A = this chain, B = another copy of it.
C-alpha cells in the first residue's frame, strides 16, 4: 500500500495563519478498484482564495473541513491506472489539494498537453491565475482603446499576467506591489509605472503623480486601501474588475471597509466582481493567445517555489506576508 503525506486543516483560521492551523498526516492509500487511477503529485498550488475556505465561513466555495486535506489545484503524474483513458506517465491536473499520492476516478482528472510550456505552468500562467487575468481584463473590465490600466498585487500570480496582457493589448499600465524586489520585477515586465506601496505613505498621491489624468480600469487583487486609492483616482466611466481582496482575507471581521464608494456614483464607475470558474468558456481563446505570446517571447513569468509537502503551510503564510514573487508553488520530489 503506497503511503501519502497530506496537509490537513487542523483548526479554522481567524486572523493571521500559524502552523497550528495545519497538520501533517501520513496515510496509506488503499489499492485501486476497477476504473480508478493512482496519481503522484509533482507540484501543488498555493492560492489566496484558499485562505477564505480556511475560515469556516465558506463563501463562493464551501469551507474546508477540519481534519481533512487542504483542497486545491495540483499537477501530478499517473503512476498506476485501472482506467483505459489514463496511462502511467500522463500528466494530470486535479483539485484534491495538498497530498502526495491519491486515487480517484477519471472524471476528477484533467489530462494536460504542455506543448511548449512547462507542465507546472498549468497551475500558473496557463492555468487558473492566467485565465483570471485574461477574463478580468477582457470580459469584466472590457478593455477599450486608450484605457489606462491599474493592477494591484501586480507581481503576484495573477497580477504579473494582467500587467503583461494589458501591455500586449496596447495599454498604459501601472502596477502596484510591495517591496523593492517586486518593484524591480514590474519594471522588467514592462509596466509604464510601478508603485512600491510599502514605500509610499500616500498611495492615491503616488497614483496621481504617475497617472495625472486618472485611471480607466482597475484590476483589483487587494481591496482595502488599494481599492480606495483607485476609486479616488478613477476617471469618469472607469471599470473595476474585483478579482480578489487579499488584504482582507486574514481578518475575521474587517473593522474598516471601503469608505469612498460614493466615488462610484460621482464618476459613473462600474465595479464588477468575478470568479474565474464561471468564465471558463474563454479558456481555449486564452490558451491560443498565450501560446502565441510565449512562442514570440512576448510574455514571461516568475514562480516562488517551496520544496516538500511539509513546507506547504509555510508557503501559504509567505503568500500573506507578501514574500512570493509570481506564482507560489510547492514542488514534491
Q: Which residues of A contact B (CB under 8 A)?
A: 59-60, 223, 227-228, 242-245, 248, 253-275, 278
Contacts and interface: CB of A to CB of B under 8 A. Distances in A.
Most chain B C-beta atoms within 10 Å of own C-beta, residue among A244, A248, A265, A271: A265
A60 B265 CA distance: 9
B267 A60 contact: yes
So how many copies of this chain end up in the complex? 2
Q: Tell me whether chain A's interface is mostly helix, strand or loop, or mixed.
A: loop
Contact of A245 (B248, B256, B265, B270): B265
A220 to B, nearest CB: 9
Nearest to A271: B271
A258 B254 CA distance: 10
Contact of A59 (B243, B266, B278): B266
A145 B155 CA distance: 42
A268 B274 contact: yes
Given A59-B262, A243-B265, A256-B256, 4 more contacts: A223-B261, A257-B261, A262-B273, A264-B272
7 contacts: A254-B259, A256-B257, A261-B271, A262-B273, A267-B273, A268-B273, A270-B272
A52 to B, nearest CB: 8
- Top-4 shortest CB links A-B: A264-B273, A257-B259, A257-B257, A265-B273
